[in-house]
Structure 1
Amino acid sequence: MAKGSRLSMHPSSPPTYPSPDAVVAALRAAGCVFAEDEAELILAAARTPAERDAMVARRVAGHPLELVVGWAEFHGLRITVEPGVFVPRRRTEFLVEQALAHAPHASVVVDLCCGSGAVGAALAASLGPVELHAADIDPAAVRCARDNVAAHGGQAYEGDLFEALPGRLRGRVDILAANVPYVPTEEVPLLPAEARDHEPLTALDGGGDGLDVLRRVAAEAPRWLAPGGILLVETSERQAMDAVEAFTRAGLAVRHAEDEERYAHVILGTRVR
């Protein structure tokens, strides 16, 4: 047998990407629309050639770019994200903007269903010194959020919604931001693979009509809000009216805010003084 034939029987080595152009070509072939930009981020994040090749391989396999490089940009911050944690969406910046517009002097902030803690970190960064608390039912999310909110003096807790929070917060919260899951159960399989395959189901599945968690949050929120305190949740356009109804039943004064450019819908509920 010829030498070349013997070599061809050996398992092939993992692909390598020795140049920026090779990285771009691999990403483009995998269908990445912004291949040049993604290549730049990967090359900046990789500390060694082996790490670079592994990161490219993960992205080519369909892993979200943010989880590949280890961070997501959100409201001007670099938020650490880890595998298995919900990646903050840029449209959720609208929720942060609404909170800041309606409670610019907030001193106690809670980020419920916090995921990476991006919303809480963004609010604290904009408000200045605040008492910041974040909570999530997922242990991986809490570990990630703990790092992100610590930079702003915040704390993160693991547990089911309000059960995770210290009791001393009852009646004191000025901003209660709850980025609840709101995808109807039967629609979860229709989500893009990046979300469906790489993010926790608890951060996506909102139950039969997508509003199960939202209703639980709205019902309990008045006990935790300070007089004049505000609850904010993100939802979809078709769910907005049902979300408004849930807020109204809880006794909150309700507004519906929309940003058409970002396809963002935020329901705001204020505890009447």
Structure 2
Amino acid sequence: MPSLSPRFASADSVVTALRAAGCVFAEDEARLILTSARTPDELAAMVDLRVAGHPLELVVGWAEFRGLRITVAPGVFVPRRRTEFLVEQALAQVPDASVVVDLCCGSGAVGAALAAALGPVELHAADIDPAAVDCARRNTADVGAHVHTGDLFEALPDGLRGRVDILAANVPYVPTGEVALLPSEARDHEPLVALDGGTDGLDVLRRVASEAPRWLAPGGCLLVETSERQADAAVDAFTRSGLTTRLAVSEELYAQVVLGTRT
């Protein structure tokens, strides 16, 4: 922990500043900031950013995801805890997967978590946003991932067609008209391309579902996160693409994951 700055002469003063800004878990956040800051000036800057409404993960530069410390950067989508349920479902569905694709990868958290659980795999990650691709490269370098820039499947090498065991696609699914209603931490600090899913929120999901069968290996599985309200329409999109489809729900994490298997 760095020496405390004149403005924050004690750990309690950091907690007080965060609580005054409306941080519900001020004590926990203060601990993370205090252990992440390397100098008194950095500590003060981190507190100021958090007080101004920047997401805590972007303030400290990392997010925890399935026990991993995932590097995040300004302008990159912060992985949500509920998305751990998608990873769990993928591992249960294809426990012996050897080829994994993390589509719409953002920070690469899903791919990194799958590789950590599966052991040596051929991992590919792709995103349309260059900032996300740079972040994903850092988070998957240790597992030798191939990280690509481009629009969905256009980013992937043709040699993956028909070979993918797990295709995890954490697509944007907020309806365009509801983006403005998101919490400011997401609305003001995360890229619109990672949030806006079109008129009903399912534009990107439908594109992924329609193309996925050409990329999946026999027995391979596509997994996409969606909302409770959109679940029926998402299941229908998977079924129309010819996948054997089911919906998995976690009440604890408030997570809905659609799974589609190529038979």
2:196 paired with 1:205: yes
Secondary structure at the aligned position of 1:145 is classed as helix
Larger radius of gyration: 1
Q: Deviations over 1:52-74 (max 9, x none)?
A: 00000000000000000000000
2:14 paired with 1:23: yes
Secondary structure at the aligned position of 1:151 is classed as helix
The aligned residue for residue 216 of structure 2 is 225
Find the aligned partners of 2:65 and 2:77 in 1 and give their Cα distance. 13
> Is this contact kept in 2: 1:257–1:267, CA < 8 A?
yes
1:44-123 alignment runs, 5 A limit:
44-123=35-114
TM-score (norm 1): 0.94
Matched to 2:126, the amino acid is: A
The aligned residue for residue 133 of structure 2 is 142
Find the aligned partners of 1:25 and 1:177 in 2 and give their Cα distance. 41
> Is this contact kept in 2: 1:15–1:53, CA < 8 A?
no
- Give unpaired runs (5+ residues) of structure 2: none
Q: Deviations over 1:62-88 (max 9, x none)?
A: 000000000000011110000110000
* Deviation (angstroms), 1:222: 0.5
The aligned residue for residue 41 of structure 1 is 32
Identity %: 80
TM-score (norm 2): 0.97
* Deviation (angstroms), 1:15: 8.3
* Equivalent residue for 2:185, pick from 191, 194, 205: 194
* Equivalent residue for 2:258, pick from 258, 262, 267: 267
* Deviation (angstroms), 1:247: 0.5
Matched to 2:209, the amino acid is: A
- Aligned pairs, number: 259
* Equivalent residue for 1:252, pick from 228, 240, 243: 243
Secondary structure at the aligned position of 1:262 is classed as coil
* Deviation (angstroms), 1:105: 0.1
* Deviation (angstroms), 1:36: 0.8
Matched to 2:159, the amino acid is: R
Superposed CA RMSD in Å reads 1.0
